[in-house]
Chain A
Amino acid sequence: MDLAPVLDGFGVVLQPTNLLYCLIGVVVGMLVGVLPGLGPAATIAILLPITIGIEPVTAVIMLAGIFYGAQYGGTITSVLLRLPGEASSVVTVFDGFALARQGRAGTALGIAAVGSFLGGTVSIVALSFVAPLVAGFALDFGPPEYTALALLGILLVATVSSGDRLKAVIAACLGLLLATVGRDGFTGAERFTFDNLSLADGLDFVPIAMGLFGLGEILYNLEERHRAVHAPATVANVWPSRKDLRQSSGAIGRGSVLGFFLGILPGGGATLASLAAYAMEKRRSKTPERFGRGAVEGVAAPESANNAAATSSFIPLLTLGIPANATMAVIYGALLIQGVSPGPQLVDQEPELFWGVVNSMYIGNILLLIMSIPLVGLFVKILRVRATILAPITVLITLIGVYTVNYDVFDIGLVVAFGALGYLMKKLGFDPGPLVLAFVLGSLLEDSLRRSLLLFDGDPTGFLTRPISGTLLVLFLVVVLLPLIRAALPRRRADARRDTKELV
């Protein structure tokens, strides 16, 4: 493997601006993970206007920091307050809070920090080897492969998202439809523009993301009643003992590997990884009855896994140009704004960007490890700020911030409209994530599909003649038909419960 670009990447990371934005990213990420309400996707969306004025590599370094920083922040509230700050921290609640009740909150937080660091680092190393391979492999992709890949990616994200699969796919279709608004690239016809000049160039990604994720979430939270209040928790001796570390070393290792693989899968992600790692640890433990009562492995495994998964979920984005989850979709959008098209050519054509981002994750993980423990007290203080005060601040940041993108008041109107849509969607059980994902992929998908059809002279079975697109398409059909088959077959229990939550 050619090491030169990798080392150049480190050079990029060590520039003071990039280091600063990395720091900002992980601190903001931790904050976002601690505070209930907004998640990393919403925060990244709201901060999109900031990314316009800075270099692409700096922007992604910061946004990436927010993403994996949030995985750690969510742990703090899980352990101290039994309140999962992020969906991927739900599993940490069980043993983490149990440890806290035994007066060992520091141990739990410390193990979580170490596990997160190691999980992230293992994942980055693996990413450094796997990503160029995947990108190289994907350079031969043509329109049929992209069609199949985009379809499969959207479907997987919609299927594994929280709640009703049917509604998630509908949301995705809506996203695809919204992507058609504007002038058609092939024929020049204006679609769904209703004679509005501002719509002629298509819908801008930024107001959609900011509205759906940011304002939508805030409006949705207005209907939340009666959150429990907790007394401030004090944390002492935030470092795990050597015995604890030794005991959890296996869990950390296994969790990291499992997290890495589950993160690459579109629709997989940090939440699924944390669940799977916990379940696996419990199953292979010789003393499973300790789990749920303060087993350090019960904290180490999910934390390593979720950080590993958060890191590896960058692979599909950076190598194939296919976002693996809603947050990646927003980062994809951020890259597009900067004029960077993510795809297999990114590794070769923009090595500074690619390796700059990847290597920044090492630094980010180190920063997280160093800062997480001293900052715990600070974050608990921050938890005292009332949501009712944060809400109007966030609303105004969003409304005024979106204006800074195009200096167009129409965008503010658009963000409000999508805020209303986001609220309705969440209220009625439609996950907005698949909509954003489908929106960013919509043009690519339609483009590839039309080219493919022209290639096959209108014959859809042409997809099956090519090995890659054929396999992907078969997978697609399997994923589509699986729930129908399961519904038809009588099972022991109705699969009505959802046991994975929002991925971001």
Chain B
Amino acid sequence: MTVLVAYVPTPEGDAAFTAAVEEAGRRNARLVLLNTPREGAPVSAALADEDGVRDLAARARAAGVDLEVRQDAHTGDLADEVVRVADAVDASVIVIGLRRRSPVGKLIMGSTAQRILLDADRPVLAVKP
């Protein structure tokens, strides 16, 4: 049993992680944390730094949850990557954080969350901070 959480160092990502830890505890499953920056630039704000990862690991440990961290960068669409990794680890649920977007924002930039919800063929847990 595996719970997959798509994480970014933001309040939404944090909320997703909290929910994911809880979920993994409830299901007695291992937790896979996917923190994947977009490839192409030397620096990405989406990548959690070493201290951040250490914190997350500590929180998982405190809850007695087995944590695996994946920080490979991806090319192309983030939603596709999340779905692909979910298939790869055979996740029983994908946990994502939801961010409020204005209608214009959604038009110009699309919604990764929406894509994941629609494309994934496994349950998705969408969490708000």
Contacts and interface: CB of A to CB of B under 8 A. Distances in A.
A and B: direct contact (Cβ < 8 Å)? yes
Interface of A: 36, 77, 81, 83, 226-233, 380, 383-388
Contacts of A81: 42-43
Interface residues of B, number: 15
A300 B37 CA distance: 34
Given A229-B47, A231-B47, A231-B49, A384 B73 contact: no
A388 B73 CA distance: 15
A388 B40 contact: yes
Interface in B30-75: 37-45, 47-50, 52, 73
B47 A230 contact: yes
A232 B41 contact: no
Contacts of B50: 231
A349 to B, nearest CB: 46
A233 B49 CA distance: 9
B41 A387 contact: yes
A231 B43 contact: yes
A432 to B, nearest CB: 24
Contacts of A36: 42
Interface of B: 37-45, 47-50, 52, 73
5 contacts: A229-B44, A232-B44, A232-B45, A385-B41, A386-B40
Contacts of B40: 227, 386-388
Main secondary structure of the interface of B (DSSP, over half): loop
A384 B39 contact: no
Contact of A227 (B42, B48, B52): B42
B71 to A, nearest CB: 9
A113 B42 CA distance: 22
Contacts of B37: 229
Contacts of A388: 40
Contacts of B42: 36, 77, 81, 83, 227-230, 383
Contacts of A232: 43-45, 49
Contacts of A226: 39, 73
A306 B42 CA distance: 24
A81 B49 CA distance: 12
Contacts of B49: 231-232
Nearest to A386: B40
B129 to A, nearest CB: 21
B40, B44, B47, B73: residue with the most chain A Cβ atoms closer than 10 Å: B40
Nearest to B53: A231
Nearest to A37: B42
A235 B20 CA distance: 32
A81, A227, A384, A387: residue with the most chain B Cβ atoms closer than 10 Å: A384
Which 10 pairs show the lowest CB-CB distances between chains A and B? A231-B49, A386-B40, A383-B43, A231-B47, A386-B41, A229-B37, A229-B73, A383-B42, A229-B44, A388-B40
A98 to B, nearest CB: 16
A226 B39 CA distance: 7
B26 to A, nearest CB: 31
Contacts of A77: 42
Contacts of B73: 226, 228-229
B112 to A, nearest CB: 16
Nearest to A81: B42
